[in-house]
Structure 1
Amino acid sequence: MHTTRTGIACALCLTPTTDVVYQVLSAQSPFPQREDVQERWCPAGCDQLHPVEWKETMPLLPGDVAFLGLAAALTCYKKLSRLKSGSGRP
């Protein structure tokens, strides 16, 4: 189930952010078993007015971490491929 709620304070303007949260529910419990923040934005527009500062100062979302892990793995693979083929420095 997706829901929208007030999140953490924006690091740039201290306005509470708006979060889209995915809640995993269970038939055995009336409470959510797990929550994942899918999206986050600042109602004051800091995420659009200052996107670089926003990305540097705000905590990463789970999807961002997965993307960064994939990018790091791809970079490592490219370096290893160049080393194996002997075509220059990593």
Structure 2
Amino acid sequence: MEQFTVIQSEHASKYLVVLCRHFGRKVTATWDDEKGEVQFPVGQAYMTVNPEQSSLTIRCVAESEDKLKGVIAIIDSHVDMFSRRETINLTWQPCS
């Protein structure tokens, strides 16, 4: 199961680094300024920055619907926590 969301922000790279660094304190996370990968117990999150479009795409993957909802809930709450300067509403879509 997979779903993705796109964050439009001039701070897209900052969000990727902050999220991955934060998650990396508790779970396995690897990242640079353009891509990141986080291994949660319930699934994975893959993040990619598109600098030309000032966007961050986050793709969540899990083996069941419930686990996927868990990964999405983690991402939602942390994006909300780290996006104090701008309002970001995540809209999740199935991967095609």
TM over 0.5: no
User: What's the TM-score, normalizing by structure 2?
Assistant: 0.30
User: What's the TM-score, normalizing by structure 1?
Assistant: 0.32
Higher relative contact order (CA 8 A, sep 6+): 2
